[in-house]
Chains A and B, each alone.
Chain A
């Protein structure tokens, strides 16, 4: 059972109050972009064993989208943070480094 704290309403919500919304920090490539970028935006996803960044929605609560950093292998949650950001906050990155020194994920480290 996964329990995440919604950064908007502060509620510690267990998984069934939330909805998984796929990978976090995707850069959108829309009309006018080249085929490779568009394909990668639509289909290419990280599937790591370990540190991962996801988008979640507090669908049965305040309704807001947020981001979560967790380990897909141990289910350890490193933190959640608002969706209005292009990069995970430093304190969450530091917390990941305590458990997984030298971790990388796409262009974050």
Chain B
């Protein structure tokens, strides 16, 4: 068995909020007709979650499902589940116009936590991150400084952010800079 490594194992920065790389995560991109009952059933079987609304994540016992676009979902699960989920999805979606791909190792995941975690992201992304506009369960694909990224807000107020593995170092760098002590803007 290969010795699998995430992009920046153990990377952590403590500022006015905490930024940490969360280790390996399973991720499956699923494209198809999101109004299809067959697809909804396949997603439910894979993650235990219902279909997410636009701009939201839905949660199940095995992970979460994020709404990526009108014809795309991202299934986020434990790293060792992703392969089996792709097989199960392909099986369940036979005959449907759909595509499931294991993208786990193309990605890096960071958690941004602390009372003012929203400020760390608000400095880097053109998104309203106030509690009213971005409550727990919200999901957004956007730009993080110069790279594409997506993030959602957990029930405990922390954020988890996904980006391409190839830019993990850049992402960790700007997140850490943004979280530096003494650099709060003070609006969120």
Contact pattern, B 67-105, Cβ under 8 Å of A = 1, otherwise 0: 111101000000000000000000000000000000000
CA distance A11 to B56 in the complex (A): 12
Category for how many chain B residues contact A: 10 to 19
Q: Does A94 contact B (CB under 8 A)?
A: no
- Near B by CB (< 8 A), chain A positions 13-48 give 13-14, 16-17
Q: Of B55, B70, B126, which contacts A17 at CB under 8 A?
A: B126
CA distance A11 to B55 in the complex (A): 8
Q: Of B69, B126, B140, B142, which contacts A64 at CB under 8 A?
A: B69
Chain B residues, CB < 8 A from A60:
141-143, 148
Contact pattern, A 36-73, Cβ under 8 Å of B = 1, otherwise 0: 00000000000000000000000011111000000000
B142 contacts A9, C-beta separation under 8 Å: no
Chain A residues, CB < 8 A from B166:
none
Q: SS class of chain A's interface: helix, strand, loop or mixed?
A: loop
- Near A by CB (< 8 A), chain B positions 111-168 give 126, 140-143, 148
Highest count of chain B CB atoms <10 Å: which of A9, A13, A16: A9
Q: Does A101 contact B (CB under 8 A)?
A: no
Q: Does B54 contact A (CB under 8 A)?
A: yes
CA distance A16 to B126 in the complex (A): 8
A17 contacts B143, C-beta separation under 8 Å: yes
CA distance A31 to B140 in the complex (A): 41
CA distance A97 to B115 in the complex (A): 48
B143 contacts A9, C-beta separation under 8 Å: no
Q: Does A10 contact B (CB under 8 A)?
A: yes
For the complex, count residues of A whose C-beta is within 8 A of B: 13
B148 contacts A62, C-beta separation under 8 Å: no
B31–chain A nearest beta-carbon distance, Å = 11
Knowing A9-B70, A62-B70, A63-B69, say if A14 contacts B126 (CB, 8 Å).
yes
Chain A residues, CB < 8 A from B67:
9
B98–chain A nearest beta-carbon distance, Å = 17
Contacts A/B (CB < 8 Å), 17 sampled: A8-B70, A9-B54, A9-B55, A9-B67, A9-B70, A10-B54, A11-B55, A11-B140, A13-B126, A16-B126, A60-B148, A62-B68, A62-B69, A62-B70, A62-B141, A63-B72, A64-B69
Q: Contacts A9-B67, A9-B69, A61-B140 given; 10 further ones with Cβ under 8 A?
A: A8-B70, A11-B140, A17-B126, A60-B143, A62-B70, A62-B72, A62-B141, A63-B72, A64-B69, A64-B70
